[in-house]
Amino acid sequence: MGCSNSKGLEENAGATGSTVENPGNSRPTSVRAQSRGSAITEKKIEVAMKVRRRHENVFAEAPDLTGGFQTARFPKSPEVKDTIRKALQTNFVFSTLSSPEIEDFIDFMKMEKFMVGATVIKQGDPGDFFYVCEAGNFTYSVDGKTVGTAHPGSSFGELALMYNAPRAATVRADEDSVVWSLNRQTFRTILANSSAQQSDRIIESLKKVEILQDVPYSQLASLAGAVQLITYAPGDKIVKKGERGNIFYMIKSGTVLCTDAGSGSKPQKFSAGDYFGEKASAQKDGKELKVFKEGDFFGEMALLNDEARVCDVVAVSDKVVVYDLDRTAFNRILGSLEDIMKRAVSKRTKQNAKAGFGVGGKSGGSSAGEGTSLRDIPKSQLKDVAFLGTGTFGRVTLVQDKKSGETMALKAMSKAQIVAHRQQENVMNEKNIMVLCNSPFILKLYATYKDSQKLYLLLEFCQGGELFTVLHTAERDGVPEKQALFYGVCVISALQHMDAKSIAYRDLKPENALIDKDGYCKIIDMGFAKVVRNKTFTLCGTPEYLAPEIVLGRGHNRGVDHWAFGILCYEMIAGYSPFADLQNMDQVVICQNIVKGKLTFPKGFDPNCKELIKKLLVRDPVARLGMMKGGVQTICNQPWFKDVNWEDFASKKQIAPWIPDCGDPLDVSNFDPYDQEEYYDPNFKDSGDWDKEF
């Protein structure tokens, strides 16, 4: 394949011991299949099955961003507030919140009292509340065994603030106790509204800057993510005359004074909604300052060069809060302002020429390509052949067209479960996104059906099974570096196609990549995919693949897919994900590891792949590889991919490292032979027309 030489995993024992390369084109035996008929040790099964369990999806209800959400504030004494404040400040879920945000959540927390012996949390129950202990003591137990305690100042149940996972432990009061509770809906809605409003405010400010008016909305949203919020006290000098500057400022609140010291000019005040920066708006001779009104902008020179400041800007109100954007961040996201100006002039010249002289011609093709056209295949024309697997809301079955003999996969989804989990929008997105996509690396949608109980997607059938069963076998976890590179090219090609259409996939993991008859990966399951141009706030995905911004609830964009791609590259080679809790599979520990972001690599990890992963697993989404100028192409340009012939991959000229035996079109041996009962609710009656366009 022409990839850089690497010893791959021969040096790396990975998570479960030695690594064995798959000889030739023999099928990597899945853990389930191997465990039924071989002498594999129980320990290997136990570890490998932990990997399987960790990849189940989690999701939370979408927060209310309509502005109609209301919640009560509960009075507290200063002592109680201090107890809660200290508990929140030491909990990772609240670690990135500002002091005003923490004070808000303190006000929203409600007092609850529990008598001795009372159960606060029951293991296995769905969780909605987070607690801080004010008085009393509690015991944690798992399967009846004591595993910990809570005392005044302790907090527990934080996972419930992120998503509706079953409680991992039972918590009982050892004595009469008092706690303060916060529910997930309040936490995520307040946090999402705060973040969304701030982002919208910054974007609207940036749109007023003339030179940025040709910048696409999605890139302005990226710029908004790079803006820093800075607070100044009265008398603080924000800009000093004579200093070199590279920062553009926007006032969020408060008042500042702009003076040209020694020039004899009159001071000029700037308030919320005004802008100031490199040259403010002073005349070159410094004799007078222009009056600025709301909607004016200045300071673009700060984004172009580092000429000396020509005036002083001082905070004069009780508190001044400004947004600042530095030239380095600007250039990283959009490129140089000089280039943007040239592109804007070129674009306007072409528009004027076309308008004035009727210039015509064909437009260039988009790398995103056209969407998929559905086929007319009646559901009655399909016959069931075999069970393939399970989705979030139902089963996937191998079916055969009675007329043509073609085999396809039919995904059935229970309406009752969709409605119960309030996932109607996501399910509709799945169908719409699949129609929008047309890539050799994304599973094709052929047709859709529905009845009173279910929705159906008729899909392309990939006989090679899941990428998961290639990575995790009875003999090993992980694959050699060159094999990982092959699958990585397939996956990043799919992500690049979706990125060009502003689609955030949000569910990348080995189970969601199928191997086709040629051994190539195809991304499947668009249940969490969504067109995102700014930020979205619904938590969804797989715990170990969640980006920090999803865990913390501050809103996310397509950058979460770049993070997840970094996780996948790591797991493909190491055999486990970088933030896993392999001992206890504790989801709280996993989320803590993600937020902390401490990254270590096994011995012998390919250096080029390691460097790629480091650039992808950056906590700040604005600085993450793929979110800067050049987009996903900057990922493809990394040294790990330097010998890849992308055209050969797109046309499938590259020979895959493993090709499934697909002699029989009805063969399902590459899928784990397990089944589950179909969900059926005889009392379900759908109200509404949410699936009208399905």
Annotated catalytic sites, by residue?
A: 507
Number of CB atoms found within 10 A of residue 258's CB: 24
Structure token digits, residue 246: 């590279």
Structure token digits, residue 149: 């305690």
Q: Which residues contact 64 (CB under 8 A, 6 or more apart)?
A: 185, 189, 193
Residue 295 assigned to a binding site: no
Residue 356 assigned to a binding site: no
142, HSE (Cβ side, Cα atoms, 13 Å): 8
CB of 433 closer than 8 Å to CB of 630: no
| Rounded alpha-carbon distances, angstroms, from residue 630 to 331, 496, 609, 610, 637 | 11, 11, 20, 21, 10
* The residue to which tokens 């047709």 are assigned: 447
Residue 388 assigned to a binding site: yes
Structure token digits, residue 648: 């050969």
DSSP string, 549-590: HHHHTS-B-THHHHHHHHHHHHHHHHSS-TT--TTT--HHHH
Greatest alpha-carbon pair distance for the chain in Å reads 92
Q: Is 364 exposed, middle or buried (0-12, 13-18, 19+ CB in 10 A)?
A: exposed
Structure token digits, residue 155: 């907090």
Residue 270 assigned to a binding site: no
519 phi/psi in degrees, rounded to 5? 90, 10
Distance CA 545, CA 505 (A): 12
For residue 498, the surrounding DSSP H or E stretch is: helix 481-500
> Dihedral of the CA atoms 574, 579, 581, 582 (nearest 10)?
0
CB of 643 closer than 8 Å to CB of 4: yes
Residue 389 assigned to a binding site: yes
Number of CB atoms found within 10 A of residue 204's CB: 12
| CA 541 to chain CA centroid, nearest Å | 8
Structure token digits, residue 290: 């222009």
Distance CA 552, CA 538 (A): 11
Give the amino acid at 535: K
* The residue to which tokens 């000098």 are assigned: 237
Residue 411 assigned to a binding site: yes
Q: Which residues contact 685 (CB under 8 A, 6 or more apart)?
A: none
| Rounded alpha-carbon distances, angstroms, from residue 24 to 412, 446, 471 | 36, 33, 16
Residue 291 assigned to a binding site: no
Angle between helices 337-357 and 327-334 (to 10 degrees): 50
Distance CA 370, CA 376 (A): 19
Question: Judging by DSSP bridges, how do beta strands 155-156 and 170-173 pair with one another?
Answer: unpaired
> Dihedral of the CA atoms 626, 627, 629, 635 (nearest 10)?
0
Q: Which residues contact 565 (CB under 8 A, 6 or more apart)?
A: 488, 491, 492, 495, 508, 616, 635
Structure token digits, residue 561: 């897919």
The alpha carbons of the chain give a radius of gyration, in whole angstroms, of 28
Distance CA 227, CA 246 (A): 13
Residue 392 assigned to a binding site: yes
Angle between helices 327-334 and 217-226 (to 10 degrees): 150
CB of 243 closer than 8 Å to CB of 313: no
CB of 529 closer than 8 Å to CB of 506: yes
Residue 396 assigned to a binding site: yes
Residue 668 assigned to a binding site: no
> Residues at the annotated binding site?
388-396, 411
> Residues at the annotated binding site for ATP?
388-396, 411
